[in-house]
Amino acid sequence: MLSLLIYGLIQSVILVLYAYGFSLVYGISGIANFAHGGIYILGGFMTWCFMNALGLPYFLSAIFSVILMGLLGFGLYWGLLLRIRGIVLSEVVVTFVAGIAILEILAWKGLYGFYYNLPVFVKGGISLGDVAIDYQRLFALGSGIALAGLLWAFVHHTRMGLSFRGIAQDERTALSLGIESDWVGALSLAIGSSLAAVAAILVLPLGVLEANIGYDVLIYAVTVAIVGGLESGFGMIAASLIIGFGQIAVARYIGSSWMIIVPLGAIVLILAIRPSGLFGSFKELEERI
């Protein structure tokens, strides 16, 4: 039981890390950033490059990678999305193509197999009763919770965060108050992309750095966002907990091969019963991506 609680919580926080950037961008600018998975992997890969090709320390490589992904997100909005702002299908297509291009180029260049790895921050772990947990997972758990708190504080208690909320609530009114929506949109994509890079740095050391992982991250991010409600931060956390604990419980009591059914089943169920998501406010299915 203790193992279920601990690893269920860890899995949930990993899902939060995957989904945070995606949900933030959609919540503020209304853009479903399907390049999220590509940016996640690119963030991890840039960290690897800074460490191995340039010989920089891990911590510095991580910071540079987060900043670089932020700039990429900003550039993606200002360079491509600005021109098609408001045409939802085009926004989806552009971000989707960007994501596929990133992942396929990385795969073409050899980012597959077990060759590329990010090291864990600290080797070893602790035991809680009979349950052994490594420090990296604990660090990801703590960081995920801290990040959630920081982002909440950001959007509620900073000028920029309040601008973001203003645009999210009513763009026209926000414009009339002098909040520039394009600038806010670009910043939201920048922050969302940086969050993707942060997630990569925390989670990728648990496994391997491979281009295909980006597709799974995108699927999980979209699943959590849909189940929780696309523009609801609280919904995102609730969905992560449901899916994370659900997966570990299913693996424990039914069988590991059924784990993938949990997120897929959650999507089917939520779209059938409550299409706007657990804590979403949009009511029409057509308004969903």
Partner 1 sequence: MKKRFLLSALLLVAAGLAFSFPAQVLAGGKPIILGLPTAVNTDWGHDDINAVNLAVEEINAKGGVSVGGVKRPFKVQITDTRGMDPATPAHDALMAVEKLILQKDPHAIVVGFARSEIFMAGMDLIAKHKIPYLGSYATTHMFQKQFAKDPAKYKYLFRLSVDAIAAAKAVTDAIDTLKRQHGLQRVFFMPQDTLLSKGFNGVLKRHCENTGWQVVGWESIASDASDFSAVLTKVKESDAQMICTFWDVARGGTILLKQWSSMQVPALFVGFVVGANSPRGWEFMGEEIEYSIYTEAPIGSGIPLKKLPKTRKFVEKFIEKFGKPHGQWLTGAAYDSIYVLAQAIERAGCLDPDKVVAEVEKTDYDGVIGRIRFDDTHQVVYGTDPKESALCLAYQWQDGKQVPIYPPAVAEGKVRLPPWMKK
Q: Contact positions toward partner 1, by CB under 8 A?
A: 3-4, 7, 10-11, 107-108, 110, 112-115, 117, 125, 127, 130-134, 136-137, 206-208, 210-213, 215-216, 247-248, 251-252, 255-257, 259-260
Q: How far is the CB of 273 from partner 1 (least distance, A)?
A: 26
> Rounded to the nearest whole angstrom, what is the least distance from the CB of residue 148 to partner 1 in the complex?
21
Q: Retrieve residue 131's tokens.
A: 């349950």
Helix axis angle, 36-52 to 58-79, nearest 10°: 140
**Residue from 143, 171, 189 nearest 36 by CA:** 189
The first and second tokens of residue 150, run together, are 């920081």
Phi-psi region of 104 (alpha: psi -120 to 50; beta: other; left: phi over 0): alpha
Instruction: Report how far residue 106's alpha carbon sits from residue 97's, in angstroms, rounded to the nearest whole number.
Output: 14
Alpha-carbon 109 to chain mean position: 24
Nearest approach, Cβ of 14 to partner 1 (angstroms)? 8
- Please report how close the Cβ of residue 260 comes to partner 1 at its closest, in angstroms: 5
Closest to partner 1 by CB, 124 vs 178, is 124
Instruction: Using the minimum distance from each CB to partner 1, give the nearer residue, 211 or 226.
Output: 211
CB atoms closer than 10 angstroms to residue 60: 13
Q: Which is nearer to partner 1, 2 or 84 (CB)?
A: 2
Residue with structure tokens 């693996």?
A: 251
Query: Which pair of tokens denotes residue 64?
Result: 């540079």
Cβ proximity to partner 1: between 142 and 149 the closer is 142
Task: Select 130 or 286, whichever has its Cβ closest to partner 1.
Answer: 130
Residue 3, both tokens: 């193992």
CB of residue 259 to partner 1, shortest distance in Å = 6
